[in-house]
Amino acid sequence: MDYKSAGVDIEAGYRSVELMKKYVSETVRPEVLGGIGGFSGAFSLKAIKDMEEPVLLSGTDGVGTKIKAAFLMDKHDTVGIDCVAMCVNDVACAGGEPLFFLDYIACGKNIPEKIAEIVKGVAEGCKQAGCSLVGGETAEHPGLMPEDEYDVAGFTVGVADKKDMITGENLKAGDVLIGLASTGIHSNGFSLIRKVFPMTKESLETYYDELGATLGETLLTPTRIYVKALKSIKDAGVRVKACSHITGGGFYENIPRMLKDGVNAEVDLKSFPVPPIFKLLQEKGGISDQMMYNTYNMGLGMILAVDPADVEKTMEAAKAAGDTPYIVGKIVEGEKGVTLC
């Protein structure tokens, strides 16, 4: 009897590490100390010593049941981007710069080539966010998970000078809301999607004219990473007053999180386009408007509040970073919350 006969292949683990090394190396920032394979990841803080009051920011998240589509399509190089995005976007909307990232992959059976594809996506997400992939863990769980399935989660640490943090405390009536376009569903609400569309290979390979792609290709479109956009806006001299990452809970749950007491966010639903996948999902599932905006991003992955004088600079800086911004509403006096109109 040995470990392999019990279901854990140590040699496959070694092979996975070798295959992923080339992807990890592409994310290395100058602050990274040592290489992959150590017991911990080391990152020098020398570069932040000139900040007045450096604050560490952290975020952790996973991809949720979106990975079910990846299983059925046997496509594993995008869910890692989603995992990074869900973490770094949270850090960025607080005014932080993501520094490094670690991933955790649990699988029923370690298939090195599949694990390497997942990590390839993680590394791509880190490159988009400008942070380093400094370590991770691949855990083989025979008997606990089916051999062809896995789960992926991650953790990031970022930094901000306290004076530059986005807190919402200076919001006032008249401030303008700017939304940054999403790439589609992102990584939330897939349990509802799985109730509307059969999660079969045939269903996912169905082509829809309105999507311009198959359902599976559309659902696996990676979550947009907004780190560069927010950095570009900051570098343009704009002070973002409040920011919300539109994830699970949609508009109704996430927008109020960026507000202080005594102000209300008015969002004009005619000011931005709703991607076709949301319209198709709502029609096929008979889902109410309220439930859609309480579950999905509906086309806006990030919403910022800025002073009216900074609107043009914000729009231009977002475009320069490759994002598509829309003026989507304003801050008004009233009960803390969001009004969709």
**What's the confidence (pLDDT) of residue 18?**
76
**What's the confidence (pLDDT) of residue 31?**
87
Looking at 140, 164, 188, which one is the last position of a domain? 164
Please report whether residue 115 resides in a domain: yes
In a shared domain, residues 68 and 125: yes
Please report whether residue 23 resides in a domain: yes
| Burial per residue of 55-73, b for 16 or more beta-carbon CB atoms within 10 angstroms, e otherwise | bebebebbbbbbbbbbbbb
In a shared domain, residues 15 and 90: yes
In a shared domain, residues 48 and 117: yes
**What's the confidence (pLDDT) of residue 70?**
96
In a shared domain, residues 247 and 327: yes
In a shared domain, residues 187 and 335: yes
Looking at 164, 187, 221, which one is the last position of a domain? 164
Please report whether residue 57 resides in a domain: yes
Model pTM?
0.94
**What's the confidence (pLDDT) of residue 236?**
97
- Domain extent, residue 155, equals 10-164
- CB neighbours of residue 339 within 10 Å: 15
Please report, in tens digits, the pLDDT of each residue of the chain (341 residues total).
Answer: 545 555 555 676 667 677 777 887 888 888 888 776 677 888 888 888 889 999 999 999 999 999 999 999 999 999 999 999 999 999 999 999 999 999 999 999 999 899 999 999 999 999 999 999 999 999 999 989 999 999 999 999 999 999 999 999 999 999 999 999 999 999 999 999 999 999 999 999 999 999 999 999 999 999 999 999 999 999 999 999 999 999 999 999 999 999 999 999 999 999 999 999 999 999 999 999 999 999 999 999 999 999 999 999 999 999 999 999 999 999 999 999 999 99
CATH code, domain with 224: 3.90.650.10
| Amino acid sitting at position 85 | A
CATH code, domain with 106: 3.30.1330.10
Looking at 164, 194, 225, which one is the last position of a domain? 164
Number of structural domains found in the chain: 2
**What's the confidence (pLDDT) of residue 9?**
58
**What's the confidence (pLDDT) of residue 99?**
97
Q: Is the dihedral of CA 185, 190, 193, 198 positive or negative?
A: positive
Q: Is the dihedral of CA 93, 96, 321, 155 positive or negative?
A: negative
- CB neighbours of residue 341 within 10 Å: 8
In a shared domain, residues 117 and 185: no
**What's the confidence (pLDDT) of residue 12?**
66
Please report whether residue 3 resides in a domain: no
In a shared domain, residues 196 and 153: no
Which tokens hold the place of 311? 């609107």
**What's the confidence (pLDDT) of residue 6?**
53
In a shared domain, residues 184 and 332: yes
